Amino acid sequence: MFSSFMINTWLAATMVAVVAGVVGFFAVLRGSAFAAHALPQGAFAGAAGAALLGLSTILGLAVFAIAGAFGISWLSRRGRHDVAVALALVVMLGLGSLFLSLSAQYAPEVYALLFGEILGVSRSELVPIAALGLGCIAAIIVLYRPLLLTSVLADMGEARGVRASHLELAFLLVVALATSMTVPVVGAFLMFSLMIAPAGTARSFTSNPLLAMGLSIAIAIAIVWISIAASYQLQWPVGFFVGAIGAVSFTAGRAWAAWKRRVVGVTTHELAPGR
């Protein structure tokens, strides 16, 4: 499990988990889970197109993810956000289907982008993954205060001169950047699980933004580490464990939040005047 060829897997998975935990926190906080789902899945069409043209699939992913971010932002200004995300996803998936039909010989490579190849990460992939990951973290640090303000108090953000549409585009571009670095490792389908489940779980345990973000990162790292170890031992797909453990963690978080509300409610009732 810790042999030399697995070191790249552990390093890549850890970097992906950190980025997913950070970006996922704001995706959940801003109610942008649908966009976080659409961009990775739609971006695989770019990989299919790049494979058809004999180009780098990473380049294709990045181009389509960024184009999807701009498309969602532009359409959102003229209609409902969820409808804009759905339209962008439909267009990208349609193109992906077309590209796959024209390049059947590359289907296994593109299929891997849907489900990831976390156990087959090469050393040459670590540098671009790390560079894109650092770019995502740096962008979140720069945008942290306005993102937090507009996510919690949108009206106050507008009053302070924060352009919500511009900030939404900036955040979507960060999600697109995260997609470009993580999809080749965990896949388009698993990226959504790794981005949303840890962040949703963390918010169930604390309302402190920095603490919730740190907890989201910790949960994401725990999920990928346990998934890799279980996959190595049982020879089952990593994706199964990522999705299953993510669902269990989220359920546990919601159960904790419900129990805490009940305890607080009972305590408040017992301390009420006249009792």
pTM of the model: 0.83
Tell me the per-residue pLDDT of 34-77, one tens digit each, with 9 for 90 and over: 887 788 777 778 877 887 787 777 778 888 888 888 888 888 77
Band of the pLDDT at 269, cuts 50, 70, 90?
very low
- E strand or H helix at 203: helix 164-205
> Residue 117: helix, strand or coil by DSSP?
coil
- Residue 108 is predicted with a pLDDT of 64
Please indicate, yes or no, if residue 260 is contained in any of the structural domains. yes
Tell me the per-residue pLDDT of 133-150, one tens digit each, with 9 for 90 and over: 899 999 999 989 888 887
CA distance linking residue 237 with residue 226, whole number of Å: 12
Tally of domains within the chain: 1
**In the predicted model, what is the mean pLDDT of residues 7-32?**
88
The residue whose two tokens read 């302070």 is 160
The length of the chain, given as a count of residues? 275
Q: Which residue has the higher pLDDT, 120 or 8?
A: 8
Asked whether the predicted pLDDT for residue 160 surpasses 70, the reply is no
Tell me the per-residue pLDDT of 4-17, one tens digit each, with 9 for 90 and over: 667 888 888 899 89
Please indicate, yes or no, if residue 275 is contained in any of the structural domains. no
* Segments forming the whole domain that contains residue 266: 4-270
Please indicate, yes or no, if residue 68 is contained in any of the structural domains. yes
Please indicate, yes or no, if residue 103 is contained in any of the structural domains. yes
Please indicate, yes or no, if residue 161 is contained in any of the structural domains. yes
| Token output for 106 | 């590359």
CA distance linking residue 127 with residue 133, whole number of Å: 10
Band of the pLDDT at 271, cuts 50, 70, 90?
very low
Q: What is the domain-level CATH number for residue 75? A: 1.10.3470.10
Closest CA to 103 of 40, 57, 43, 41: 57
Amino acid in position 237:
P
Q: What is the 3-state secondary structure (H, E, C) of 50-106?
A: HHHHCCCHHHHHHHHHHHHHHHHHHHHCCCCHHHHHHHHHHHHHHHHHHHHHHCHHH
Please indicate, yes or no, if residue 264 is contained in any of the structural domains. yes
